[in-house]
Amino acid sequence: MVLEAISYGFVQKALISGIAVALTCSFMGAFLVLRRYSLFGDGIAHVAFGGVSVGLFLGLFPLWTAYIASIFGGIGLQKLRNSTKISGDAAIAVVLVTGLAFGIILVSSSGGFSVDLFSFLFGSILLISNEDAIMILTISAGIIATLVALQKQFLQLTFNEEQAKVSGLPVTLLSYAFVVLSAVTVVTSMRLVGILLISALVVIPNISAMVFGKGFKQTVGISMSISVVSVVVGILLSYYYNIAPSGIIVMVAVAILMGIVLARSAGLISKISVKEKPGTVHNI
């Protein structure tokens, strides 16, 4: 049955694109979770909703307007944090509701929800074109390459921003680069799980991986594996049962998380104490 499914071109494109998005989200998500930015993906996704609405309202390609809106939303969020005493989660909430409200205004002005908008809200990975697949692969490769190149700097920024400043790192520039990469990751992932479920794909695999209490690289590797398994199983199940892939992908990820938590509770996964230092992740 699996061979039958992957013999179709649209399933092959969905699997290849989905795996690329899974790897990108899990890698970026590791930094977001460690920075207590777990809801960043959700906030930027709602800004992307406003961007998609602008594109559909003006008759432009909605993905590009979503990229522009998300990048500006991420930069605005960073400026809000730096120039005020507003905490990270509160700043995300402000950006989230602003993007959502703006999108709703445009949607209501243009006569309501369209099929295109629903595909962005809930994902449409099985319907992507060859051009979309190439774009997803290209952007995902660029994001992963950038994260690998700047991994040490981002880790220093994540664990001790003051020390990063003292060591001479361009903290402000790195912070803006990080939020831009995060925003691009979120928009690229929209075709897989949709605007409403992006944060789940970013956060859940990393929470599952952190249960093992390993170092940063091992945690990222475990998170990537969980994310890829969730995407592949979710896409195949959605093909067989004719159900939206985004919901199944997230539910598979949740099931894996619950299985890992239960295994740790039963003593099948040992609790490992890890000292806090750059490149290390706490056991939760």
Q: Report the range of poorest mean pLDDT among 61-65, 135-139, 192-196, 205-209.
A: 192-196
**Average pLDDT of the residues in 173-177:** 87
**Average pLDDT of the residues in 178-205:** 84
Residue 278 pLDDT > 50: no
The class that CATH gives domain 2-196 is mainly alpha
Amino acid making up residue 266: A
pLDDT (0 to 100) of residue 188: 86
Could you report the per-residue pLDDT of 6-63, keeping only the tens digit for each? Answer: 777 888 888 998 899 999 999 998 988 888 777 777 778 888 888 888 887 787 788 8
**Which carries the bigger pLDDT value, residue 161 or residue 238?**
238
Residue 170 pLDDT > 70: yes
> Sorting pLDDT into bands at 50, 70 and 90, what band is 272?
very low
pTM score, two decimals?
0.82
Q: Cα 164 to the chain's mean position, in Å?
A: 25
- If DSSP states are collapsed to H, E and C, what string results for the chain? CHHHHHCCHHHHHHHHHHHHHHHHHHHHHHHHHHCCCCCHHHHHHHHHHHHHHHHHHHCCCHHHHHHHHHHHHHHHHHHHHHHCCCCHHHHHHHHHHHHHHHHHHHHHHCCCCCHHHHHHHHCCHHHCCHHHHHHHHHHHHHHHHHHHHCHHHHHHHHHCHHHHHHCCCCHHHHHHHHHHHHHHHHHHHHHHHCHHHHHHHHHHHHHHHHCCCCEHHHHHHHHHHHHHHHHHHHHHHHHHHCCCHHHHHHHHHHHHHHHHHHHHHCCCCCCCCCCCCCCECCCC
Could you report the per-residue pLDDT of 47-82, keeping only the tens digit for each? Answer: 888 888 888 778 778 888 888 988 988 888 777 776
Residue 112 pLDDT > 70: no
pLDDT (0 to 100) of residue 192: 78
**Average pLDDT of the residues in 243-272:** 84
Q: Compute how many other C-beta atoms are within 10 angstroms of the C-beta atom of residue 279.
A: 14
Residue 201 pLDDT > 90: no
